[in-house]
Amino acid sequence: MKFDPRHNKFTAIFTREMLEATLPSVILISVALFFAYKFIDPAPPRQLVIAASEADINTQAFASIYGVYLKKEGITLRLRKTAGDEENLRLLKAEDSEVDIAFIQDGVAHSQGAGSLLSLGSLYYQPVWIFCRCKQTTTHLSTLRGQRIGIGQAGSATHTLASTLLAESGLTAQNSRLVSIGGEAAAQALRRGRLDAVILVDVANSSLVRELIADQRVRLLSLDTAEAFSRKFAYMHHLQLPEGAMDLARNLPPHDVHMVAPTATLVVKDSLHPALVYLMMKVIAEVHGGPGLFHTKGEFPSAKDTDFPLSTQALNFYTSGLPIIDKYLPFWAATFVNRTLIVILPLLALLIPLTKLVPMVYVWLVKRKLFRYYGELRYLDTQLQEMQTTQDVQDCLETLNAIEQRVVNVKLPVPFSQYAYELRAHIELVRAKLQQRASLLNAEGAAGKPVENATRI
């Protein structure tokens, strides 16, 4: 017996109907995949630019440490040195700027507004150190009226903060000599008597701060109004430097010192990739999570800053920690999984109904090949009672034979063969009715009687 290619395994599994049923779904899914890949959560860049003040060696050091951590995850961090926090803020707001992240002292943007910038949180306290060549203990800034005061370089965060503190205490350029000088230069001028006081914003382990505290010619001013400042300005925090905290052997300082301190914050553009935001949160938690002179372990990073709204990822980090995927997978693996889920979840919304719809469409398309012949059978069946001659019956039989031949030639997958046999059985039923009608016509014609309607089977 010759092999019939219509019944091979390929035909049993894949037919034109299967293609017709699945092709729209395949096209829909392909289009969805394309748009998901192109527009939904693109892959994060491999390079970031961070801005830090050229005069602030602490933020530059932290930027270098961040770079080491990020390098392990395949991200390059470039440092952009600036004139100070005001320039950092300006670069972040500029649309054509390459800067993605910047260190900004809390309070600097208080009068300028946050714009579209977002915060990753506070990193550490930046205490305000007020040193003066005072002959007696000074506890209020107003006692410095009329003196020469170094308030930091113009454009720096120190200059902005010092101006606020002095103005609130009644000191202005009209009643005092405010000199725009900061850092080591200001300290040298104070030691040599060219300044009467300096205001520095620096961390407690700064060598410059330790040198000035140990210098017998100057005093560290304790602010009795520190709590008042913290109540009036949300970005100022009231800190207390305990007696002997800087040097126990020499008991420096010789008494408790009340201070105010803003926090150093890490600010990002709102366009920074969410995966990189989570990575930065992970890095700053590693770098700044330990204890310090003014804070306990785990106190930083935190949401202490007031100038900028927290990014969604930072808020999630402070409330729930890192996403579970980011905790246990390397950065790029976690990013791949997250992006894959973002693509897969919408596709599942398409695939679940399609898994039910495609089989239904496929079955309908296959059965459609046979169902169209039922219309012709029904027509022949309805015409049965109107046939008055054997020639009419013979014509219908020839039509029926042609229908059966076409049915035999229909290619169907093996699982649907039963429908072809059912149709052929119905064809045989109609053929039997036609033959019965022909016999009745022959009998009536031989008897010379008119043909009456026969009872239908």
Query: Could you tell me if 51 and 87 are in contact, meaning their C-beta atoms sit under 8 angstroms apart?
Result: yes
Backbone angles phi, psi at 184, to 5 degrees: -60, -35
Whether 339 is covered by a domain: the verdict is no
Q: How far is CA 162 from the centre of its chain?
A: 39
Domain match, 371 and 303 both:
no
Q: Are residues 160 and 280 in the same domain?
A: no
If asked whether residues 236 and 297 sit together in one domain, one would say no
Number of domains, the chain: 3
pLDDT-derived band at 443 (thresholds 50, 70, 90) equals confident
- The boundaries of the domain holding residue 305 are 43-122+266-322
252-263 pLDDT, tens digit each: 999 999 999 999
Q: What's the length of the chain?
A: 457
Structure confidence at residue 345 as a pLDDT band (50, 70, 90): low
User: What is the Rg, in whole angstroms, of the alpha carbon atoms belonging to the chain?
Assistant: 43
Instruction: Output the domain CATH number for residue 112.
Output: 3.40.190.10
In a domain, 443, yes or no: yes
Answer whether 104's CB lies under 8 Å from 85's CB: yes
Using a 10 angstrom Cβ sphere, with 0-12 exposed, 13-18 middle and 19 or more buried, the burial of residue 427 is: buried
CB neighbours of residue 95 within 10 Å: 7
Q: What are phi and psi of 54, to 5 degrees?
A: -65, -25
Indicate if 275 and 373 belong to the same structural domain.
no
Given the DSSP bridges, would you call strands 47-53 and 76-82 parallel, antiparallel or unpaired?
parallel
Question: pTM value?
Answer: 0.68
Per-residue model confidence as pLDDT tens digits over 217-229: 999 999 999 999 9
Residue 219 CB neighbour total at 10 angstroms? 21
Instruction: Confirm whether 168 is domain-assigned.
Output: yes
Whole-angstrom Cα distance, residue 323 to residue 334? 10
* Tokens describing residue 368: 């459609």
pLDDT at residue number 397: 85
Confidence class of residue 346 from pLDDT cuts 50, 70 and 90?
A: low
Query: Using 50, 70 and 90 to split pLDDT, how confident is the model at 265?
Result: very high
* Distance between start and end Cα atoms, the chain: 38
Q: Which pLDDT does position 146 carry in this prediction? A: 94
Spatial distance between the Cα atoms of 403 and 321, rounded to a whole number of angstroms: 72
User: What is the per-residue pLDDT for 457?
Assistant: 34
d(CA 36, CA 42): 9
The dihedrals phi and psi of 38, each to the nearest 5 degrees, come to -80, -40
